[in-house]
Structure 1
Amino acid sequence: MDYKNFVDSFKRVACVISVDLKGEKGDDYRYLIVDANEAYKRTVVKDIADFKTGVPYTRYIMKTANFENLCDTCVTSNVPIHTYFDIELYNAWMEVFLMPLESGDPDMGMLLFSYEMNPKADIDKLADISSETATNVIKTCLKLRETSDFRESMKSVIKDIRLQCGSARCSVLLTDYEKREYSLLCEDYDPDDPSQVPLEEFLTEDFYRVIETWPRLINKSNCFIISNEKDMENASKIAPEWIESLRFAGVKSIVIYPLRSDNKTIGYIWAGNFPVDKTLMIKETLGLTSFILSAEVANDQNVRKMKIMSSTDLLTGVYNRNAMNNRISDDDSGKKVIAKPFGVFFIDVNGLKTINDTRGHEAGDNLLKDVASTLKELKGRNVEVYRVGGDEFLIIATKTNPAEFLKMEDILRKNSERPNRAHYAVGACHSEEAEDIRKAMQKADARMYEVKEEYYSRHPEYEWHNKPV
């Protein structure tokens, strides 16, 4: 059948693609370009005289499992497909049209492929979705505003998405490719399915190696999908460990979308074991939802970073004075009471002024960082470490009985004058002596100065900065 006049009648970029329904020609020759208009040819070759027909589409554009899945769906369902998505390969938004055509051969499907690309998302095109998807996405947006706790909201959202998709599991995983870290934001799975277990059971230290394969599976497209055994086998060539774990978990179908912000992948959302006949609806739902969630996740991460920066001493990495003031204020108001029994340590760095004056402030900074490193070794014991002044640190140890507190004090004192390490003075007070946190801090501070005075009497070579009169 001659499609030349038909495809030439299109002003937009367009080509006709054949699909070998039996798959007898092999994967490389299953999808062939039958004909194309001049607009399409100019997008893939410099000289249109070099354009060839009857060749695999991969001669001109990159092989993409998602595109092939769309072609299969179009010719087998005999339904036109319109989709709009962010494609990382071109750093642009692509509007795609697929239209089934008459082929005259029962073993061969034919379709028209046409597209437009723009550097920024068109909100009107994003909103051009089915009424069912629109309702679902609106519900998602509303759920995100139900509470000020973003992570709690996401638990409700991910459950809704799973039910909308009819999948056995839906999860959101956050990633940081620079730090090579990942974390589970939220998940929901069918409680009546005995094969479904918490994802944490699979999130081992080695799981990051699996995550590193996902960009290759998505391959600069907008998503990756497994809907049958053949897809599973193809994916196994790139991510054998992941596919093995999916088989072990009884996963037979999965669709995964990257969450992207500022041209960086910040996480993934996926649905597993979904009804394959609802693939297009699920892709539409997850596609738009991932666009919204990307912005929400990025915003939550930025807010968290700002909170960390506002409460963290940038030099030493411990809490700063602002965080201490908020902690004491929360205890006073009852918002976050300091759990009893508790203990307080005041720590002051010895010799800092002399080091700054004789070796420079970089050497002084190293002294402060060394002390902070020593104090942070007490972590894991309900310990909060604050830098409350230039050379002063505070430790609040909650839920700590007197015996535990004495052990901690002994460790701090033994480490206070180690050779070739920073020296410091320690003052301590347990809640047995002063139940009020402010009074405990005052007593610990006074005791710290007694220890400090004794230290400087033994080390006259150091100048005591801010010595009490």
Structure 2
Amino acid sequence: MDNFFIRFSPLILPFKVFSLHAFGCIITLWVKDQYVIPIWLSMALIDAAFASKYGSIIQELYNNSYKDALTGIQNRRCFYMRIIDEMEKVRTRNTPLSLLMIDIDNFKPINDTYGHDAGDEVLKQIAAVLKENVKNTETLSRWGGEEFTILLPDTNVEDAMKFADKIRSNIWEHRFKYEDITIKLTISIGVASINEVMDIGQFIKVADSALYKAKEKKNFVERLGQAAL
């Protein structure tokens, strides 16, 4: 039914508006006064039902567009939408902005050893642990594969490093489970921070470079601050 509404909405919506208005004119001219209000109320209920249906469809389309299907957190598209807004705040308010690039260490052996279902379950559990540590003003996204990002507005490099080490420690201490298997994992994190506006692609590249250095040690947090940009 939802597919029907989505497919034919360009026809359904105009037809609904036209038909309701046309019917309203007809009953105003031809129906006795005592029946007008009940009929109008019925039409209003029909209109509300259509609006509710399309509202739920729009919400579903939004979730599919901006949320990762596996983990339920924001996806890369949402990340880019948010970082554009946050970069504008850096420009207008001169506030710091930090970015964490997160990668699961030695993730491939999990898929190879236990199967891709186990790998998917681990990704969902890691996303849940990360989400527990993220505020509403911060943006947790799945970057792709086993990589995640966290965008930290109004956060300088020192505070970003403390936050990154906190979530690194939380993952290290957490016991991930798949069926009767207990899996221990670590993550590496690259941190980049700015105090003035810069190209978004370059900002992401710096965080990725910091992650690359962190991956050389594993279970580690590496930073690249403003001076390294």
Q: Specify the TM-score bucket, using the shorter chain as the normaliser.
A: 0.5 to 0.7
Q: For residue 88 of structure 2, give the secondary structure of its aligned residue in structure 1.
A: coil
Answering whether residue 75 of structure 2 is matched by residue 312 of structure 1, we say no
Query: How far off its partner does 1:285 sit?
Result: 3.1
Structure 2 distance, partners of 1:323, 1:337, is 16
Answering whether residue 97 of structure 2 is matched by residue 342 of structure 1, we say yes
Q: Deviations over 1:315-348 (max 9, x none)?
A: 11112223334445xx2xx798355422100000
Higher helix share: 2
Answering whether residue 141 of structure 2 is matched by residue 390 of structure 1, we say no
Contact map agreement 1:345 1:441 (CA 8 A) in 2: no
Q: Deviations over 1:426-456 (max 9, x none)?
A: 1111223874433332222111122211128
Q: Residues 338 and 308 (structure 1 numbering): CA distance in 2 closer, same or farther, change over 3 Å?
A: farther
Contact map agreement 2:28 2:36 (CA 8 A) in 1: no
Structure 1 distance, partners of 2:97, 2:208, is 16
- The amino acid across from 1:287 in the alignment is S
One of 199, 208, 213 as aligned partner of 1:450: 213
Matches within 5 A, 1:59-70: none
Residue aligning to 2:181: none
- Larger radius of gyration, structure 1 or 2? 1
Per chain length, whose mean CA-contact separation is higher, i.e. which structure has more relative contact order (CA < 8 Å, sep 6+)? 2
Q: Deviations over 1:351-410 (max 9, x none)?
A: 210000011111111221122112211332511111111111111122335564344223
Structure 2 distance, partners of 1:445, 1:314, is 24
One of 159, 163, 169 as aligned partner of 1:408: 163
Contact map agreement 2:86 2:153 (CA 8 A) in 1: no
TM-score by length of 1: 0.35
TM-score by length of 2: 0.67
Q: Deviations over 1:180-200 (max 9, x none)?
A: xxxxxxxxxxxxxxxxxxxxx
Query: How far off its partner does 1:281 sit?
Result: 5.6
Q: Deviations over 1:62-101 (max 9, x none)?
A: xxxxxxxxxxxxxxxxxxxxxxxxxxxxxxxxxxxxxxxx
Q: For residue 173 of structure 2, give the secondary structure of its aligned residue in structure 1.
A: coil
Contact map agreement 1:371 1:424 (CA 8 A) in 2: no
- The amino acid across from 2:211 in the alignment is M
Structure 1 distance, partners of 2:50, 2:28, is 23
**Mind listing any 5+ residue stretches in structure 2 that lack a counterpart?**
1-18, 177-184, 220-229
Contact map agreement 1:426 1:448 (CA 8 A) in 2: yes
Contact map agreement 1:416 1:425 (CA 8 A) in 2: no
Q: Percent identity?
A: 28
Provide the aligned C-alpha RMSD in A.
Answer: 3.4
Q: For residue 344 of structure 1, give the secondary structure of its aligned residue in structure 2.
A: strand
Structure 1 distance, partners of 2:124, 2:203, is 26
**Mind listing any 5+ residue stretches in structure 1 that lack a counterpart?**
1-122, 135-277, 457-469
Q: Residues 380 and 282 (structure 1 numbering): CA distance in 2 closer, same or farther, change over 3 Å?
A: farther
Structure 1 distance, partners of 2:158, 2:217, is 26
Q: For residue 417 of structure 1, give the secondary structure of its aligned residue in structure 2.
A: helix
Residue aligning to 1:36: none
Residue aligning to 1:127: 23
Structure 2 distance, partners of 1:354, 1:302, is 39
Higher strand share: 1
One of 121, 128, 131 as aligned partner of 1:373: 128
Contact map agreement 1:382 1:399 (CA 8 A) in 2: no
Residue aligning to 1:100: none
Residue aligning to 1:293: 48
Q: Residues 366 and 433 (structure 1 numbering): CA distance in 2 closer, same or farther, change over 3 Å?
A: farther
Matches within 5 A, 1:11-26: none
Q: Residues 336 and 293 (structure 1 numbering): CA distance in 2 closer, same or farther, change over 3 Å?
A: farther
Residue aligning to 2:227: none
